[in-house]
């Protein structure tokens, strides 16, 4: 096991494209770190540089305290798991899992021991004599994981390993990988574009966009304290809604709404007086104003229900406020029809304000 450290790492592809820009990150020994971001943000490129499958154009990469910039992949003592399982079709599960060890000249008895151990962890024991075509997608991906485990590497590097699986299997495999990590404690870097995978698996999440790190934090810290509008919108489902507005005298307001800011937040954003901001609202900080309840107008948004999606346990409602839409997560048993006028109470202590230009979160303490 080993720490992984990237200092000022950059990647320029041969065509001059700057895919990764000044990437700085220290991954602790045994940590599970997830790189997440939209397609093309540079997460696979960064992982491939750690693996040694892609040259590093600039900067310094250390694994286990030694600089590995110029080492071949096999000299880095890491194991990769990809989206495509890349199993040898003519070999059994046992042979596939043991193949890298065989190439390394590990004695047969030891290979069998390590394969049996990994097969037990991954519940593959009954399948060891089958060939890949006799396995389901989830079983094949477990074999690919097993092949990585038997090598006892210093780190696992995983690039969208679950994206070929259907939704139910993905949930199961997510749990298997998390369990394996708890058991083995091997440093793991995991790439995904799926924010749910990132939130449920990572000790820390690295959110990327356009080749740059946007924020590095634990799942809940990212959710509750997004550094900028991009992170706020990328993490969370249903996504955070935004309303254009201005800050004036402790109030954030725009077309069709005005909310009173908590005193401490009003102080923090006082330097932005009169300037345009984007108000960020998570769906769960909105609730329906109960009939007969006294409304504190500084904490109420009024609008019209546009789309009502009853999901059983909850109802997701898209509400038009002025000319903009927001999304509210309401109780499953609310009785709302599209076109109905609504009053929503806002928990103003949980709103976010983003500078309209820089998109930085200006409301955090
Ligand atoms: P995805 O989720 O789609 O795999 P990603 O975040 O992993 O996306 P990368 O594969 O790291 O993205 O690619 C980052 C950027 O670098 C993209 O804009 C991509 O088009 C570009 N890129 C990747 N490989 C090359 C290459 N060999 N030559 C030039 N540009 C490349």
Does 128 lie in the same domain as 9?
Answer: yes
Does 126 lie in the same domain as 111?
Answer: yes
What is the C-alpha to C-alpha distance for residues 35 and 192, in angstroms, rounded to an integer? 6
Give domain status of residue 360, yes or no: no
Does 159 lie in the same domain as 15?
Answer: yes
CB 174 within 8 A of CB 158: no
Whether 1 has a pLDDT exceeding 80, the answer reads no
What is the C-alpha to C-alpha distance for residues 49 and 70, in angstroms, rounded to an integer? 10
3-state secondary structure the chain: CCCEEEEEEEEECCCCCEEEEEEEEEECCCCEEEEECCCCCCHHHHHHHHHCCCCCCEEEEEECCEECCCCCHHHCCEEEECCCCCCCCCCCHHHHHHHHHHHCCCCHHHHHHHHHHHHHHCCCHHHCCCCHHHCCHHHHHHHHHHHHHCCCCCEEEEECCCCCCCHHHHHHHHHHHHHHHHHHCCEEEEEECCHHHHHHHCCEEEEEECCEEEEEECHHHHHHCCCEHHHHHHCCCCCCEEEEEEEECCEEEECCEEEECCHHHHHHCHHHCCCEEEEEECHHHEEECCCCCCCCHHHEEEEEEEEEEECCCEEEEEEEECCEEEEEEEECCCCCCCCCEEEEEECHHHCEEEECCCCEECCCC
Whose Cα sits closest to atom 3 in ligand 1? 39
Q: What is the CATH number of the domain that holds 351?
A: 2.40.50.140
Mean pLDDT on 261-288: 96
C-alpha distances in Å from residue 256, one per residue of 95, 259, 303, 322: 66, 11, 8, 5
Give domain status of residue 365, yes or no: no
Does 156 lie in the same domain as 35?
Answer: yes
CA of 189 to the centre of ligand 1 (A): 18
Mean pLDDT on 53-82: 94
Give domain status of residue 217, yes or no: yes
* Domain residue limits at 81: 4-233
What is the C-alpha to C-alpha distance for residues 177 and 32, in angstroms, rounded to an integer? 10
For the beta carbon of residue 1, count every other beta carbon within 10 angstroms: 15
Ligand 1 touching residue 45 (CB < 6 A): yes
pLDDT band at 301 (very low <50, low <70, confident <90, very high): very high
CA of 40 to the centre of ligand 1 (A): 5
Mean pLDDT on 197-219: 96
Digit-coded pLDDT (tens) for 122-147: 889 999 999 999 999 889 989 999 99
pLDDT band at 292 (very low <50, low <70, confident <90, very high): confident
3-state secondary structure 183-211: HHCCEEEEEECCHHHHHHHCCEEEEEECC
pLDDT band at 82 (very low <50, low <70, confident <90, very high): confident
Which of residues 275 and 86 earns the better pLDDT score? 275
Ligand 1 touching residue 39 (CB < 6 A): yes
Give residue 146's pLDDT: 92
Give domain status of residue 103, yes or no: yes
pLDDT band at 103 (very low <50, low <70, confident <90, very high): very high
CB 50 within 8 A of CB 4: yes
CA of 42 to the centre of ligand 1 (A): 6
Does 226 lie in the same domain as 135?
Answer: yes
pLDDT band at 283 (very low <50, low <70, confident <90, very high): very high
Please identify, by atom number, the ligand 1 atom nearest to the C-alpha of residue 208: 6
How are beta strands 32-36 and 58-63 bridged, if at all? unpaired
Whose Cα sits closest to atom 19 in ligand 1? 40
pLDDT band at 167 (very low <50, low <70, confident <90, very high): confident
Give domain status of residue 154, yes or no: yes
Does 190 lie in the same domain as 298?
Answer: no
- Mean pLDDT for all residues in the chain: 94
Give residue 169's pLDDT: 83
Give residue 293's pLDDT: 84
Whose Cα sits closest to atom 18 in ligand 1? 40
Does 214 lie in the same domain as 65?
Answer: yes
Does 180 lie in the same domain as 120?
Answer: yes
Does 188 lie in the same domain as 97?
Answer: yes
Give residue 31's pLDDT: 97
Give residue 314's pLDDT: 96
Give domain status of residue 224, yes or no: yes
Whether 222 has a pLDDT exceeding 90, the answer reads yes
Give residue 163's pLDDT: 85
Mutate to test the pocket of ligand 1, among 9, 11, 13, 53 (most ligand atoms within 8 A of CB): 13
Number of domains in the chain: 2
Q: Domain end: 233, 268, 298, which one? A: 233
Please identify, by atom number, the ligand 1 atom nearest to the C-alpha of residue 191: 7
Q: What is the CATH number of the domain that holds 157?
A: 3.40.50.300
Q: Domain end: 179, 209, 233, which one? A: 233
pTM: 0.93
Does 162 lie in the same domain as 101?
Answer: yes
Give domain status of residue 364, yes or no: no
Give domain status of residue 11, yes or no: yes
Give residue 173's pLDDT: 86
Which of 10-14, 34-38, 175-179, 256-260 has the least mean pLDDT?
A: 175-179
Ligand 1 touching residue 44 (CB < 6 A): yes
Does 274 lie in the same domain as 132?
Answer: no
Does 205 lie in the same domain as 161?
Answer: yes
Ligand 1 touching residue 210 (CB < 6 A): no
Please identify, by atom number, the ligand 1 atom nearest to the C-alpha of residue 44: 7
CA of 45 to the centre of ligand 1 (A): 6
Give residue 122's pLDDT: 86
Q: Domain end: 199, 233, 267, which one? A: 233
């Amino acid at each position: 096991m080993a720490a992984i450290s990237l200092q000022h790492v950059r990647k320029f592809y041969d065509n001059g494209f700057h895919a990764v820009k000044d990437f700085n990150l220290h991954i602790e020994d045994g940590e599970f770190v997830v790189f997440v971001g939209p397609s093309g943000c540079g997460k696979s490129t960064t992982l491939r540089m750690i693996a040694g499958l892609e040259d590093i154009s600039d900067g310094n990469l250390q694994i286990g305290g030694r600089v590995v910039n110029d080492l071949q992949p096999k000299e880095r003592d890491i194991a990769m798991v990809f989206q495509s399982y890349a199993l040898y079709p003519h070999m059994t599960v046992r042979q596939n899992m043991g193949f890298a060890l065989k190439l390394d000249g590990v004695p047969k008895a030891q290979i069998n021991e390590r394969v049996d151990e990994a097969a037990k962890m991954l519940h593959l024991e009954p399948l060891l004599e089958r060939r890949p075509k006799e396995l389901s997608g989830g079983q094949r991906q477990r074999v690919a994981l097993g092949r990585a485990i038997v090598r006892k590497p210093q780190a696992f590097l995983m690039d969208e390993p679950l994206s070929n699986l259907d939704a139910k299997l993905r949930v199961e495999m997510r749990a298997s990988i998390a369990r394996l990590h708890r058991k083995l404690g091997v440093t793991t870097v995991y790439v995904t574009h799926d924010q749910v995978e990132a939130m449920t698996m990572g000790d820390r999440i690295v959110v990327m966009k356009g080749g740059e790190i946007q924020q590095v934090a634990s799942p809940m810290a990212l959710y509750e304290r997004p550094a900028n509008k991009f992170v706020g919108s990328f993490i969370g489902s249903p996504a955070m809604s935004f309303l254009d507005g201005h800050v004036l005298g402790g109030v954030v307001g725009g077309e069709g709404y005005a909310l009173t800011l908590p005193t401490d937040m009003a102080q923090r954003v006082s330097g932005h007086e009169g300037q345009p901001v984007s108000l960020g609202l998570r769906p769960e900080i909105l609730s329906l104003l109960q009939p007969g309840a006294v409304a504190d107008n500084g904490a109420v948004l009024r609008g019209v229900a546009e789309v009502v999606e009853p999901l059983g346990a909850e109802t997701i409602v898209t509400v038009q406020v002025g000319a903009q839409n927001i999304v509210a997560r309401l109780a499953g048993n609310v009785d709302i029809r599209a076109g109905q006028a609504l009053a929503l109470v806002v928990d103003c202590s949980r709103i976010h304000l983003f500078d309209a230009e820089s998109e930085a979160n200006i409301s955090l303490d």
